[in-house]
Amino acid sequence: MKKTYLLAGSLSLLGLAAAPVMAADSSVNEVNETTAVSDVEQPLLLADQSTTTSVSDLMGETEADSVGQVTSVSQLSDVRPTDWAFQALQSLVERYGCIAGYPNGTFRGNRSATRYEMAAALNACLDQISDRFASKADLDAVKALQDEFAAELATLRGRVDGLESRVATVEAQQFSTTTKLQGEVVMAGQFGDVANGARANFPVPVGGGIPQSRASLLSRVRLNFNTSFSGDDLLQTQLEVGNNGADFFSATGVGSPAAVPNTGLSGNLAGNLDLGAADFSGIGNTVTLRRLAYSFKPIGDDLTVTVGTNIFPSDFIDFNSYANNSAQDFSSGFFINNPLIINDTVDIAGGAGAAVDWNLNGGPFSVRALYIAANGNSPVAVGAGGGLGFGNHQASVEFELADSFGEDDANSYAVRLQGTFSEGNSIQQTVAGINGELSFGQFGVFGRYGVSINPQNEVGGGTVDVFGGNTPLVHSWMAGAGVKDLLIPGSLLGAAVGQPFLDPSVANGGTPFTQWNAEGFYRVPVNENITITPAVMYIGNPGGATGSDIIQGLVRATFSF
């Protein structure tokens, strides 16, 4: 009878035995181990208790005799939550689906079961379980695969352990979970000289003497700490340092227009109009905070707002794909930005202010606006200005229409209409401008134009016309062409020519400012992080004087990381 106890115990664990079954001293329906199938008592799951069945019938009810598979214990009307085996029965019904009921919806849990009934019920449950779990044959196959690929599994385990160790090290030593470091290093070698004429005719000699040309090396390093707190915002902190190097153009001061008649002005309308290697010349060897700005999206993804104590107008307006980055394309400041739209007295050192960029519904039309004050950090007057509302400052707006066209969108265009009101060096200007570019595959053309309408000179708390009431228009223009991926993928060949400042002083008996600038460059990528860019710059009639054209060659190495 040991097998009887064992089977009864197994069913007890499955929750099928509602009461002790087949005890050794039972006098009711005792079946010994030689009992024939025909002598077996009625099965647990059949309604007609006088019907004898075969072993195959004991494994489940027929469709006519049963209510079918029970999917919820609540379908059994005579089972209550207070029954001692309720939870076991509920688990067998709802987890394994191996219990059926009688046609009248009852379970009859207090009825005794025969060994055959117990075997049928246990087999039904095991069939359900075997469908959900691996069989012994499956486990043997898995073990065989483990033995066959033991070496590979050990290698993979070692790699995973190594990765876990490295991840733990990174997490323990990481700089920040919110900040990413981005850097750019520019090193340049240059040599410039007079292209024709006499050195004595040079417009702005160095130290009062005749300038003597020398080769020089200059450098600039910028480190950006880009921090995001939500994924849709950016706090940018930029540090800058250089070797206080200078190129030939910048050192000689070439590019400032001659004095405008009747005003005593010298270069105040547009600042240094060629600026040489503008963004990496004259940077000192003391680390400074160049940019500090926070950008966020207050309403959806289309509107971006930026506020900061150190921001630049050129960060937000007057972008051009071919002429906008002194580390990647043109070196001359004049070709980087329109000197009338981007006021140098504000943009060179930056200032405090805010800007908005609204891309309407993610489409081709965008609107940008900004206000930046160069002395926005000062709580008191500094010379003629100071604070956010006085001194050198500019307010600008730009409307852009930009899109791609043609097969596979291989071509593109962009038109930007601009307006700026600025004050720099006590000169107030109202400027209108346009910035455009058109690309056909690898080839593109681009240009800028700006006009300052009747600039005003601040005198004794008021303003007077710079040009004596003649309401002149001061102009600036440039045009160029570029070829991408010429011979080398990722390369850019570009060239441009223009006049940074056209004044109407001839109307007042003076000499018109006739300086013109030209530059060509070829950017060659060494790899994803290094580019080499040779460039040649030429200035005709520098400072408005004729007969002393100058030329400069420059090679840049730019490292990005």
List the alpha helices (DSSP H) in 83-135.
86-91, 115-132
> Under DSSP, is residue 254 helix (H, G, I), strand (E, B) or coil?
coil
Sign of the alpha-carbon torsion through 373, 377, 383, 388: positive
Instruction: Decide if pLDDT at 132 tops 70.
Output: no
pLDDT tens digits for 322-354? 999 888 899 888 899 998 999 888 888 899 999
First-to-last CA distance in the chain? 81
Give me the phi and psi of 204, to 5 degrees please: -130, 80
- For the segment 125-141, the average pLDDT, to the nearest whole number, is 75
* pLDDT, position 210: 54
pLDDT tens digits for 379-393? 877 666 677 877 889
Distance (Å, whole) CA 446 – CA 295: 29
* pLDDT, position 119: 83
- For the segment 534-550, the average pLDDT, to the nearest whole number, is 80
Instruction: Decide if pLDDT at 312 tops 90.
Output: yes
- For the segment 539-554, the average pLDDT, to the nearest whole number, is 78
Confirm if 89 and 107 have CB atoms less than 8 A apart. yes
Sign of the alpha-carbon torsion through 118, 121, 125, 127: positive
* pLDDT, position 101: 78
The closest of 540, 168, 345 to 552, measured between CA atoms, is 540
Percent of the chain's residues with pLDDT above 70: 73
Instruction: Decide if pLDDT at 557 tops 70.
Output: yes
- For the segment 485-499, the average pLDDT, to the nearest whole number, is 94
* pLDDT, position 306: 97
The closest of 404, 213, 190, 169 to 277, measured between CA atoms, is 190
413-427 per-residue burial string, b: 16 or more CB within 10 A, e: under 16: bbebebbbebbbbbb
Distance (Å, whole) CA 557 – CA 512: 38
**DSSP H or E run through 397:** strand 393-405
Q: Report if pTM > 0.85.
A: no
Secondary structure letter of residue 89 according to DSSP: H
pLDDT band, very low/low/confident/very high, at 465 (cuts 50, 70, 90) = confident
Q: Label residue 316 exposed, middle or buried (CB < 10 Å: 0-12, 13-18, 19+).
A: buried
pLDDT tens digits for 275-311? 556 566 678 889 999 999 999 999 888 999 999 999 9
Query: In the numeric block, which tokens belong to residue 395?
Result: 């307010």
* pLDDT, position 559: 96
* pLDDT, position 322: 94
Reported as half-sphere exposure (CB side, CA atoms, 13 A), residue 478 has a value of: 34
* pLDDT, position 90: 85
* pLDDT, position 78: 86
pLDDT tens digits for 6-51? 333 344 444 443 333 333 333 333 333 333 433 433 333 333 333 3
For 256, residues 6+ apart whose C-beta sits below 8 A from its C-beta are: 204, 266, 267, 271, 272, 273, 543
Q: What mean pLDDT is reported for the chain? A: 78
The closest of 252, 238, 104 to 182, measured between CA atoms, is 238
Q: Of 96 and 260, which is predicted with more confidence?
A: 96
Instruction: Decide if pLDDT at 363 tops 50.
Output: yes
